[in-house]
């Protein structure tokens, strides 16, 4: 990447030379930076740093520290690693791997239904990453039982080196933090990928992520969203109330029956009928790949991306070269809109970033309102269904009583 190597730094954060901004929101800025070491030793990294006006917001700082604590316990080849959690003049930052690649979301948007062999390998790798998160322990050996809660195609990045990475544990929760059931404003994840039990406010475990991964797997194979509807009400109803699990083969006939059965089991509405854990899902996907000859090496995945999105493979990120924000005042709406403008095309942003930028303050409030609305919708759905059941019981026809009828269903003997 000669052009990046030639860029002069625009600022310094900790021991990192910042060469440009990748994205910015109401809570944090995301930068591409070079790590500096003795001599010419170094590497490109992504830095995520809290904005100055957020440093006095204890809740936001706590969320940032929470993300760092969870992620620093994770070490898996298919999870984007955090290298450092640092403090730069009173402002926390995270240093993490820069994943040059394309998200599954971007691939679906550009290509539609993806090759079966690519999908089966990529999602087997992600299932392994989730199982690591679900079973990892802290430094004292205590199980953390982390649930990602935001598994969706945007957070699955396929590197141009052929290595898949699961991203963005920013809304993940460990067992020690799941003391309360889901309540209004506390729903995490994108609506069309949230498990039924999370909508119902139940305590979550790894099976919730298995469901979300199953939804993403269906979408990657068909190029179509499984549960997204015209309204939030319809989306929630499709996930919570509709007992049917659609077949992938109904939307794409060339998907093998074995893979269809795997997807359907991951999508079971009753979590006891799903895979008990992500490791079982990975095991079935690996076995399917072996039998079908789909076990792809990283070089095979790289070649697949070169065929599907050759322009992205050779492109370099577009960087905002303005200096990092230094003012401690709360930005105006106009400034937020300016900071949120794309630093390049959506494709380049996804390729360069490898993680999702934080939502601006207005969007965060919008998510809280939508979370409250969704739980209201669920309550309304339950009431409607209950009324329907009661009405059916009250109005259904009943046979007229026969005074001389025998006490058993057998015909009377003359």
At residue 41, the pLDDT reads 62
Is 101-307 in CATH node 3.40.50.2000? Answer: no
Q: What share of the chain is helix, strand, coil (3-state, %, to 5)?
A: 45, 15, 40
Q: Please report, for residues 159, 177, 185, 199, 206, the alpha-carbon distance to residue 133 in angstroms, rounded to integers and kept in the order given.
A: 20, 15, 25, 22, 9
Q: How many other β-carbons are positioned within 10 Å of the β-carbon of residue 268?
A: 18
Torsion of CA 59, 64, 67, 72, to 10 degrees: -140
Rg (CA), the chain: 25
- The pLDDT of residue 215: 98
Which residue in the list 150, 168, 209, 286 is annotated as catalytic? 150
Q: Are 49 and 29 in contact (CB under 8 A)?
A: yes
Q: Could you give the CA distance from residue 11 to residue 352 in angstroms, rounded to a whole number? A: 19
What is the pLDDT confidence band of residue 296, given thresholds at 50, 70 and 90?
Answer: very high
Alpha carbon separation from 296 to 128, 262, 404 (Å, rounded)? 15, 19, 74
pLDDT at 262: 98
Which residues on neighbouring strands pair with residue 236, listed in sequence order? none
Please report which confidence band the pLDDT of residue 399 belongs to, taking 50, 70 and 90 as the band edges. Answer: low
* Each residue's pLDDT tens digit, 7-27: 899 999 999 999 999 888 777
Q: How far is CA 171 from CA 65, 158, 400, in A?
A: 12, 21, 59
Q: What is the pairing mode between strands 28-35 and 11-13?
A: unpaired
pLDDT at 97 over 80: yes
Name the 3-class secondary structure at 20.
Answer: strand
- 47-51, 202-206, 287-291, 349-353: least confident range: 349-353
Is residue 354 pLDDT above 60, yes or no?
Answer: no
pLDDT grade for 267, boundaries at 50, 70 and 90: very high
String of b and e for 365-395 (b: at least 16 CB within 10 Å)?
eeeeeebeebbebbeebeeeeeeeeeeeeee
8 Å CB contact between 129 and 75: no
Is the pTM value of this prediction over 0.85? no
Going through 57-192 in order, the beta strands assigned E by DSSP cover 82-88, 91-97, 101-103, 156-159, 164-166
Report the CATH fold assignment for 2-99+316-345: Phosphorylase Kinase; domain 1 (3.30.200)
Q: Which helix (H) or strand (E) holds 74?
A: none
Which residue ranges does the chain devote to CATH 1.10.510.10? 101-307
For residue 371, give the 3-state DSSP assignment: helix
Q: What is the model's pLDDT at position 298?
A: 97
Summarize the confidence of residues 345-362 as an average pLDDT.
37
How does pLDDT run across 112-167, given as a tens digit for each residue?
999 999 999 999 999 999 999 999 998 889 998 899 999 999 999 999 999 999 98
Q: Which helix (H) or strand (E) holds 50?
A: strand 44-50
DSSP element (H, E) containing 23 = strand 16-24
Q: What is the average pLDDT across 260-271?
A: 97
| pLDDT greater at residue 389 or residue 103 | 103
| Greater pLDDT, 162 or 182 | 162
Secondary structure E strands in 195-285: none
**Residue 182 or 173, more confident:** 173
pLDDT in the model for residue 175:
64
State percent of the chain over pLDDT 90.
54
Q: Please tell me the distance from the alpha carbon of residue 37 to that of residue 370, in angstroms, as a whole number.
A: 46
User: CB of 224 within 8 A of CB of 276?
Assistant: no
Distance CA 204, CA 200 (A): 10
pLDDT of residue 25: 75
Q: Which of 83, 78, 159 is nearest to 126 (CA)?
A: 78
Please tell me whether residue 184 adopts helix, strand or coil conformation: coil
**Residue 56 a catalytic site member:** no
101, 160 in Cβ contact below 8 A? Answer: yes
- Considering 270-274, 317-321, 395-399, the range whose residues carry the highest mean pLDDT is 270-274
Q: Return the pLDDT at 189.
A: 57
Torsion of CA 293, 311, 357, 33, to 10 degrees: 100
Q: 19-74, pLDDT tens digit by residue?
A: 999 888 777 889 999 997 776 567 899 999 988 888 878 888 888 888 788 888 89
Residue 274 has pLDDT above 80, yes or no: yes
> Among 100-104, 266-270, 354-358, which is the least confidently predicted range?
354-358
Query: Could you tell me the two tokens for 203?
Result: 């305590």
Give the pLDDT score at 91.
86
Q: Lowest mean pLDDT of 19-33, 293-307, 369-383, name the range.
A: 369-383
Q: Per-residue pLDDT for 260 more than 70?
A: yes
Helix boundaries (H) for 137-180:
none
- Mean pLDDT in residue range 240-249: 93
The boundaries of every CATH 3.30.200.20 domain in the chain are 2-99+316-345
What are 216's two structure tokens? 């993403």
What is the average per-residue pLDDT within 279-292?
98
């Amino acid at each position: 990447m000669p052009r990046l190597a030639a860029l002069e730094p625009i600022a310094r954060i900790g021991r990192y030379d910042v060469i440009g901004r990748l994205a910015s929101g109401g809570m944090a800025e995301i930068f591409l930076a070079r790590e500096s070491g003795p001599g010419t030793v170094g590497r490109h990294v992504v830095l995520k740093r809290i904005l100055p006006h957020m440093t006095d917001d204890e809740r936001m700082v706590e969320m940032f520290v929470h993300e760092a604590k969870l992620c620093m316990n994770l070490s898996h080849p298919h999870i984007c690693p955090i290298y450092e959690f640092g403090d730069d003049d009173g402002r926390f930052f995270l240093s993490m791997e820069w994943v040059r690649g394309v998200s599954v979301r971007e691939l679906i948007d550009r290509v539609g239904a993806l090759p079966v062999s690519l999908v089966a390998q990529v999602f087997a790798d992600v299932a392994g990453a989730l199982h690591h998160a679900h079973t990892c322990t802290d430094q004292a050996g205590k199980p953390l039982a982390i649930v990602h809660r935001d598994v969706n195609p945007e957070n699955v990045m396929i590197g141009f080196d052929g290595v898949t990475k699961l991203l963005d544990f920013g809304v993940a929760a460990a067992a020690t933090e799941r003391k309360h059931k889901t309540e209004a404003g506390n729903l995490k994840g994108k609506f069309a990928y949230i498990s039924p039990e999370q909508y119902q406010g139940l305590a979550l475990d790894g099976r919730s992520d298995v469901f979300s991964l199953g939804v993403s797997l269906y979408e990657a194979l068909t190029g179509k969203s499984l549960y997204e509807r015209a309204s939030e009400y319809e989306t929630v109803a499709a996930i919570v109330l509709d007992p049917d699990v659609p077949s992938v083969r109904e939307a794409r006939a060339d998907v093998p029956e074995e893979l269809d059965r795997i997807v359907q089991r991951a999508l079971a509405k009753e979590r006891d009928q799903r895979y008990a854990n992500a490791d079982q899902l990975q095991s079935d996907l690996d076995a399917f790949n072996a039998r079908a000859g789909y076990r792809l090496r990283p070089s095979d995945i790289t070649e697949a991306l070169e065929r599907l999105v050759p322009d992205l493979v050779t492109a370099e990120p577009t960087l905002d070269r303005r200096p990092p924000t230094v003012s401690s005042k709360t930005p105006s709406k106009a400034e937020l809109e300016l900071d949120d403008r794309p630093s390049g095309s959506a494709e380049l942003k996804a390729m360069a970033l490898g993680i999702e930028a934080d939502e601006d303050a207005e969007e965060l409030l919008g998510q809280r309102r939508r979370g409250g609305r969704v739980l209201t919708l669920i309550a309304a759905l339950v009431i409607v269904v209950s009324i329907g059941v009661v009405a059916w019981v009250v109005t259904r026809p009943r046979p007229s009583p026969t005074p001389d009828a025998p006490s058993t269903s057998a015909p009377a003997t003359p």
